[in-house]
Amino acid sequence: MRLDKYLTTVTNLSRTESKRILKSNRVTVDGCHVTEPSTQVGECAQVAIDGEPLRSAAARYFMLNKPLGYVSATKDKQHLTVLEWFDEDNLDRLHIAGRLDIDTTGLLLLTDDGQWSHRVTSPKHNCNKTYWLQTVDPITDAAIEKIQQGILLDNEKRATKPATIELIDVQTARLTISEGKYHQVKRMFAAVGNKVETLHREQIGDIVLDKNLMPGEYRALTEQEIGSI
């Protein structure tokens, strides 16, 4: 990767600003001052500006315990976005792998690795998502059977894929689906005459929401978690 591109990738500097800093002899690569923007930088190179080390340009992967009241978007004119919780450079390069509604909480994955994100969200990869939910009315055996078999939702051409429901009590359940249609969980229960009152995502694939993360807190994924998708 070119050094000027590297600087724009790991900082909030523009390409023009990066070149200006390079010309001012403020950048070192592995301890040596470098001024040429086209200098190639490897993943393991130690790059610093004014002696302050910069992070690697490798792809980033995060989990957030999403709180209520925030939209799963990078920009929104009416609501606060989940990026408000992140203290990272180049936030605009992060995208959300599987959105959650503004009134849904729990596990949210963010990355700047497009191929990895696609594996999370594409129905072809059958990446399961598990939710804890509470409903307004009791969850009937008939509703469970329909949801587990698949339901044709309004404005959809195909029924949902078979789901798995673990009933915790009459109005509380743990639901696992392998898709991510618009408002899918809420629409599934609406289709059987019920309403989801509380919805919280616990797991995506083999990645489980870290119990140590309070609402609004985030952490980087481990290598094992990244490789599980």
- CA Rg value for the chain: 22
> Would you tell me the crossing angle of helices 3-10 and 15-23 to the nearest 10 degrees?
120
Give the closest residue to 54 by CA, choosing from 91, 12, 14, 93. Answer: 12
CA 48 to chain centre: 29
d(CA 73, CA 104): 14
Catalytic residue among 30, 50, 76, 101: 101
Amino acid letter for position 103: D
Residue 101 bears catalytic tag:
yes
d(CA 198, CA 134): 5
The label of the residue with tokens 């489980």 reads 208
d(CA 136, CA 195): 6
Catalytic residue list: 101
